[in-house]
Structure 1
Amino acid sequence: MSVPTYDELFNPLLKALHELGGSASVEEMDDRVAEILGLTDEEISEIHRGNTTKLSYRLAWSRNYLKRFGLLENSARGVWVLTPKGQSTTQVDKALVNKTVKHLDLELKAMGPGTDKPEELVEEATWRSKVLDEIKKMSPAAFERLCQRVLRESGFINVEVKGKSGDGGIDGRGIVKVGGLLGFRVIFQCKRYAGSVSSQEIREFKGTMVGRAEKGLFITTGTFTRDAKQEAVRDGSPPIDLIDGEEFAERLKELDLGVSVKTEELVGVDGAWFESF
Structure 2
Amino acid sequence: MARKSKAEFTKWFGPLLDALRDLGDSGRPREVYDRIAKNLNLPDRILDDTLKSGTSRFHNQVAWARQYLVWDGLLDSSKHGTWTLTEKGRNASISEETAHEIFRKWVAIHAESRKQKRAEETNDALQEESFPEELVSEEILDLISTLRSLSPVGFEKVCRELLRESGFANVEITGGSADGGIDGRGTLEINPFVSFKVLFQCKRYAKGNLVSRAQVGDFRNAMIGRAEKGIIITTSSFTNAAIQEANREGAPQVELVDSVKLVEMFERVELGVKKRSVFDVDPAYFDRFKIG
TM-score when normalising by structure 2:
0.79
User: 1:51 matched to which residue of 2?
Assistant: 54
What amino acid does structure 1 have at the position aligned with 2:205? Y
State the alpha-carbon separation in 2 of the partners of residues 192 and 262 from structure 1: 27
Aligned length: 258
What amino acid does structure 2 have at the position aligned with 1:112? K
Shift of 1:223: 1.0
Question: What is the aligned counterpart of 1:205 among 219, 228, 237?
Answer: 219
State the alpha-carbon separation in 1 of the partners of residues 238 and 60 from structure 2: 16
TM-score when normalising by structure 1:
0.83
Identity of aligned residues (%): 36
Question: What is the aligned counterpart of 1:189 among 184, 197, 201?
Answer: 201
Q: Secondary structure at the residue paired with 1:223? A: coil
State the alpha-carbon separation in 2 of the partners of residues 147 and 95 from structure 1: 43
Counterparts of 1:1-277 in structure 2, within 5 Å, are 5-92=8-95, 93-109=98-114, 111-113=116-118, 123-164=135-176, 171-194=183-206, 195-263=209-277
Question: Is the CA contact (8 Å cut-off) linking 1:69 and 1:100 kept in structure 2?
Answer: no
Question: Is the CA contact (8 Å cut-off) linking 2:182 and 2:199 kept in structure 1?
Answer: no
Task: Assess, with a 3 A threshold, how the Cα gap between structure 1 residues 200 and 165 changes in structure 2: closer, same or farther.
Answer: same
State the alpha-carbon separation in 1 of the partners of residues 16 and 190 from structure 2: 37
State the alpha-carbon separation in 2 of the partners of residues 200 and 259 from structure 1: 33
Q: Unpaired runs of 5+ in structure 1? A: 266-277
Question: Is the CA contact (8 Å cut-off) linking 1:209 and 1:238 kept in structure 2?
Answer: no
State the alpha-carbon separation in 2 of the partners of residues 175 and 82 from structure 1: 39
Question: Is the CA contact (8 Å cut-off) linking 1:197 and 1:223 kept in structure 2?
Answer: yes
CA RMSD of the aligned region, Å? 2.7
State the alpha-carbon separation in 2 of the partners of residues 228 and 101 from structure 1: 37
Greater strand fraction, Structure 1 or Structure 2 = 1
What amino acid does structure 2 have at the position aligned with 1:202? V
Question: Is the CA contact (8 Å cut-off) linking 1:161 and 1:171 kept in structure 2?
Answer: yes
Higher RCO (CA 8 Å, separation ≥ 6 residues): 2
State the alpha-carbon separation in 1 of the partners of residues 138 and 277 from structure 2: 18
Shift of 1:96: 2.4
Question: Is the CA contact (8 Å cut-off) linking 1:176 and 1:185 kept in structure 2?
Answer: yes
State the alpha-carbon separation in 2 of the partners of residues 196 and 256 from structure 1: 27
More deviation, 127-136/86-95: 86-95
User: 1:268 matched to which residue of 2?
Assistant: none
